[in-house]
Structures are given as C-alpha cells and as structure tokens.
C-alpha cells in the first residue's frame, strides 16, 4: 500500500485529504474523511495499523503530529503544544520519533530609498503595507497566530488590530486612511475583509471568489485582490457587492499604476522572467522589460509616484536579493540596493516613494526527538 496526500491549500481552506493505493490492483481509497489545510509529511506505523502525519487545519495553521487509523479513518492529534512540526521519521519499533519544529523568524525592516544603508528593524512581520499617514500595517505571528498590526514609521505605537483563531494576513490601507483591508480564513477559506483603522467593525467583503488583498483603486472605491485559487486579479467594491474579474491572467506580484489604468506584474517569457505592464481596461500588454540577469527571479513589484518608474526585487541563483529601478522609457534598470541573501516574504513602497519596507528573515528548523509513542 502507498499513502499520499492529495488536495490544495491555495485558498487557505481545509481541502487536503489522505489517500492510499494498492500497488497490486491499483485500487484507491480515502484513508480518512478528515480534511486538512495542508499535509507536510507522513509515515506508516511499523504494524501498518495507520500512519503518523504532520498536518494543519483551519482555523490556526499550526502543523501538529496526528495519528490516522488505517482501519477506521479516525484521526487524533499527538502534539497539542504551540509548536509547528513538518518532517517526521519513525524507528522500526515506533518507540522513537524525530521531527522538525519550524518557526518564522522574519523582521519588518524600514529603509530610506535614497540611502538604503539607513534602515531600522520595527517588529516581527510576514506581510507589510504603508498607510497614507506614515503608519505601517503588517501581519505577524508574534502573538501566537497570524494577526494584523499597525505601527508608526519610527517604531512607536504598535497596536494589534485583529484577534482571531484563524489567520488574518496581507493588510492593505485605503487611500483616505479610513479602513484596512485584509485576508482572513475564519469562515473556512481566504476571503477579503474590511475594518476600521483601529480594528473595529470587521466586515467580510467577498463570499464567492475570495483571495488576498493587493491594492485599492486611486479613487478608493475598489479593493483589488489575488484570487485564492486561479491567481488572477479580481476586485470588489470597498463597501461590498459583486466580485468582479479585473485581469484574466494568472500572474504574480501585481502592482497598480498611480492613475489606476495599468497594472505591472511578473511573468515568464521562455525560460526567463520579465516585468510586464498591461492595460487594466482590456488586458493588452503595453510594455515588457527583461531582467539584467536572465537567470534571476522577479518578485515584489511597485510603482513610484511619478508613474514613470517601477521598482522590483530580483533573486539570483545564489539567493541574493537586489532592489532595482526600471524606467518606463526603456532605459537600462538601475541597481538601488543589495538586500542580502535572507528570504523576503513581502515588500512595500511608501506613498511618497521615499521609503520602502521589507519583511525579511528565514524559517528556523530545529530537530526534536520524541519518545514513548507505544
């Protein structure tokens, strides 16, 4: 018998299942009716009575170690602490188990665009966005769960805006600073929500085609978001209403131009990534810009306020991150800052184009040994 995980977690819902297949006759059956946000690792028990898996459920994407009965499909958690476990392996007698505990170790760093060596660490963070009043909104798990926070650019007045058992992530501030939009899976899948800047009046905006907020329209009437499953660009009115497709192209790192008529994004052209600008009206490609390093990856695109330049982060083969400025007149891109080789989970440019922020760090893995499983 071969067991495997089957499903998807793009929309932050519980849609991963566990299946086994008989090698001799190819017959397939679900091992359990239970569903998970994701399943990372699995191992048969020596007597083949079931499996141990590392898996997470929504709400609260903490990966626990679970035992699954092959006979009944019953599922029970073996770990109930606040740690997250990914890989696992059993000895031949199931008396010892080794696993990895994984923790996010990312920091919100604020930079001066003209002098990137002038930067400061503000807080723990995984996603980040600027508000018009020089405050920064970000998501962080420093309270034990992914929540939305806000903080001044000087590091003062840090406030927690959400407090929910599910994951609240990817905040975006409205142009008039009256609201913060964010993604939450508290209803079972990722949907767009709105709240006041103090965290009050949390209201769900999408119900059918949910996803992750990216930016608001310049007039503040629409919130655009990345579709949770097909990765296309959608929008919904900030007061709620019909969910509408905005650009039917499955792409990453969408960025809206200051006037609201164009959208920039990363896409693959042949074996290389390019920076593309398309019309938001009809989806037609307007410009394409190759990277200086054709083997690099392109991530985290943003427009400067003058609408004549874009900035983006490239990642070379060795993992080095570099911030570039791409003039729309076709001139060669200019290197703005070397950002090291630590991972970058998010990037944001301030409304005046003078500062930028990154959520930068790594995932820390520690080996743990557990005894007495029998």
Q: How confident is the model at residue 374 (pLDDT cuts 50, 70, 90)?
A: low
* Side-chain-facing half-sphere of 194: CA atoms under 13 Å: 22
Tokens linked to 277: 């600008």
Task: Return d(Cα 293, Cα 313) in angstroms, integer.
Answer: 12
pLDDT at 141: 87
pLDDT at residue 134 tops 90: no
Give residue-wise pLDDT tens across range 5-26. Answer: 999 888 888 999 999 999 999 9
Under 8 Å between Cβ of 243 and 202 = no
Percent of the chain with pLDDT over 90: 82
pLDDT at 192: 97
Task: Return d(Cα 254, Cα 212) in angstroms, integer.
Answer: 12
The mean pLDDT of the chain is 93
DSSP state letters, 280-325: TTT--EEEEEE-SSTTSEEEEEEE-TTSSEEEEEEE-TT--EEEEE
Give residue-wise pLDDT tens across range 16-75. Answer: 999 999 999 999 999 999 999 999 999 999 988 999 999 999 877 889 999 999 999 999
Tokens linked to 273: 């990534």
Give residue-wise pLDDT tens across range 147-159. Answer: 999 999 999 999 9
Give residue-wise pLDDT tens across range 241-293. Answer: 999 999 998 999 999 999 999 999 999 988 899 999 999 999 999 999 999 89
Q: What order of strands is seen across the sheet that includes strand 285-290?
A: 252-256, 262-269, 272-279, 285-290
Assigned CATH topology for domain 2-102+364-371: Neuraminidase (2.120.10)
Helix (H) / strand (E) element for 152: namely strand 147-152
Task: Give the mean pLDDT of 100-124.
Answer: 93
Under 8 Å between Cβ of 264 and 254 = yes
Under 8 Å between Cβ of 82 and 104 = no
What's the pTM? Answer: 0.89
pLDDT at 118: 85
Task: Return d(Cα 247, Cα 300) in angstroms, integer.
Answer: 18
Task: Return d(Cα 185, Cα 180) in angstroms, integer.
Answer: 16
């Amino acid at each position: 018998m071969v067991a495997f995980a089957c499903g998807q977690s793009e929309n932050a819902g519980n849609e991963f299942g566990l299946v086994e297949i008989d090698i001799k006759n190819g017959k397939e059956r679900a091992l359990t009716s239970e569903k998970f946000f994701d399943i990372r690792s699995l191992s048969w028990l020596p007597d083949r009575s079931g499996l141990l898996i590392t898996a997470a459920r929504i709400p609260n994407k903490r990966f626990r170690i679970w035992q699954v009965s092959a006979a009944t499909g019953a599922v029970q958690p073996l770990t109930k602490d606040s740690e997250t476990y990914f890989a696992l392996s059993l000895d031949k007698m199931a008396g010892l188990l080794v696993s990895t505990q994984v923790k996010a170790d990312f920091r919100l760093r604020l930079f001066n665009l003209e002098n990137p060596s002038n930067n400061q660490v503000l807080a723990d963070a995984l996603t980040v966005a600027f508000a018009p009043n020089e405050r920064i909104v970000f998501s962080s798990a420093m309270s034990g769960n992914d929540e939305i926070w806000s903080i001044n650019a000087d590091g003062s007045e840090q406030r927690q805006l959400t407090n929910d058992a599910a994951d609240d992530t990817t905040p975006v501030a409205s142009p008039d600073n009256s609201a913060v939009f964010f993604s939450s899976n508290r209803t079972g899948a990722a949907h767009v929500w709105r709240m006041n800047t103090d965290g009050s009046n949390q209201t769900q905006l999408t119900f059918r085609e949910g996803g992750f907020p990216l930016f608001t329209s310049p007039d503040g009437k629409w919130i655009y978001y990345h579709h949770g499953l097909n990765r296309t660009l959608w929008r919904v009115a900030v007061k709620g209403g019909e969910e509408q497709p905005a650009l039917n192209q499955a792409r990453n790192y969408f960025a809206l131009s200051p006037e609201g008529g164009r959208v920039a994004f990363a896409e693959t052209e042949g074996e290389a990534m390019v920076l593309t600008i398309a019309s938001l009206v009809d989806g037609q490609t307007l410009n394409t810009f190759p990277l200086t390093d054709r083997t690099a990856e392109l991530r985290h695109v943003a427009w400067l306020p003058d609408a004549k330049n874009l900035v983006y982060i490239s990642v070379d083969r060795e993992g080095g991150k570099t911030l570039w400025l791409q003039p729309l007149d076709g001139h060669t891109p200019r290197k703005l800052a070397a950002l090291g080789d630590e991972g970058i989970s998010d990037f944001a440019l301030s409304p005046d184009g003078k500062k930028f922020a990154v959520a930068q760090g790594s995932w820390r893995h520690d080996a743990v040994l557990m005894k007495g499983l029998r």
